[in-house]
């Protein structure tokens, strides 16, 4: 019997999508969590197709086999859903429910990495164990949102114990979303520079940056304060609004 062909109507955007390790593709053996969701929640049967993502740009159409955890065949595919530049977001540490919103919206908006660190006016200060616990939870959320948004690359979530170290790690240029005196609008700043291969967005907490932080940020290389416009946004939605503006300008 010859190899079956992939139906021409199939597209990764129209299929259930799951991030899996590359070893799954080699062994053609689905993880338990994927089996549960595909077979029991979605009630997919043998011969139906799903999309598997390796988190590093690899996109594959997979036909479900007769055994619940088996893949009958794997066919390479592709998704063109990433921004043409990498965007890292550094969010001042905020309450967990608001930080979760930052993760969800940031992944949907195309962020490549999502960082969190406590700044001077952050209302929460977590120890190492709590940071690790939330980092794991938010990475899981990022994976769910990335699959939903048809992201070929899996954004990474990291919680830092030092604000200054987090700033230093960011790709340049760094755009600080803060209303300094005479600050330039984000779109105007971006129109004055060529589209970079990577950039970063920094968002303060509910109370904004302290005067000392603003003074220190102004000394950092390729770091610019930018305004998002006339209206004041919540801290948990600011990065998403900025990502939307960047996409409108350069995508």
Going along the chain from its start, the domains and CATH numbers come out as: 12-77 (2.40.240.20), 86-250 (3.40.1280.10)
Among 214, 203, 205, 206, which residue's Cα sits nearest to residue 181?
214
Among 130, 92, 97, 91, which residue's Cα sits nearest to residue 111?
91
User: Who contacts 84 (Cβ-Cβ below 8 Å, separation ≥6)?
Assistant: 195, 250, 251
Which two tokens mark 39?
Answer: 């077979």
The HSE-up count of residue 50 (CA atoms within 13 Å, CB side) is 28
Q: How far apart are CA 212 and CA 18, in angstroms?
A: 44
**Count of all residues that appear for the chain in the document:** 251
Per-residue pLDDT 10s for the chain (251 aa) are 445 566 667 899 999 999 999 999 999 999 999 999 999 999 999 999 999 999 999 999 999 999 999 999 999 999 999 999 999 999 999 999 999 999 999 999 999 999 999 999 999 999 999 999 999 999 999 999 999 999 999 999 999 999 999 999 999 999 999 987 789 999 999 999 999 999 999 999 999 999 999 999 999 999 999 999 999 899 999 999 999 999 999 99
Instruction: Label residue 243 exposed, middle or buried (CB < 10 Å: 0-12, 13-18, 19+).
Output: buried
């Amino acid at each position: 019997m010859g190899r079956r062909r992939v139906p021409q109507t199939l597209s990764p955007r129209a299929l259930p999508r799951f991030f899996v390790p590359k070893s799954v593709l080699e062994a053609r053996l689905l993880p338990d969590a994927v089996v549960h969701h595909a077979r029991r929640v979605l009630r997919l049967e043998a011969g139906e197709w799903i999309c598997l993502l390796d988190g590093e740009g690899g996109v594959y159409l997979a036909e479900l086999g007769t055994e619940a955890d088996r893949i009958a065949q794997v066919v390479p595919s592709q998704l063109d859903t990433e921004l043409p530049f990498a965007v890292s977001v550094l969010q001042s540490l905020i309450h967990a429910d608001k930080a979760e919103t930052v993760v969800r919206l940031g992944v949907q908006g195309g962020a490549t990495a999502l960082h969190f660190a406590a700044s001077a006016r952050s209302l929460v200060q977590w120890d190492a164990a709590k940071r690790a616990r939330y980092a794991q939870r938010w990475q899981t959320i990022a994976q769910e949102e990335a699959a939903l948004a048809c992201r070929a690359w899996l954004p990474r979530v990291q919680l830092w114990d030092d604000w200054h170290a987090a700033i230093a790690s960011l790709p340049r240029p760094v755009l600080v979303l803060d209303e300094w005196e005479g600050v330039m609008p984000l779109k105007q700043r971006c129109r004055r520079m060529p589209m970079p291969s990577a950039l970063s967005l920094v968002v303060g907490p509910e109370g904004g940056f302290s005067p000392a932080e603003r003074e220190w940020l102004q000394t950092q290389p390729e770091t610019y304060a930018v305004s998002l416009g006339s209206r004041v946004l919540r801290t948990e939605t600011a990065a998403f609004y900025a990502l939307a503006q960047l996409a409108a300008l350069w995508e």
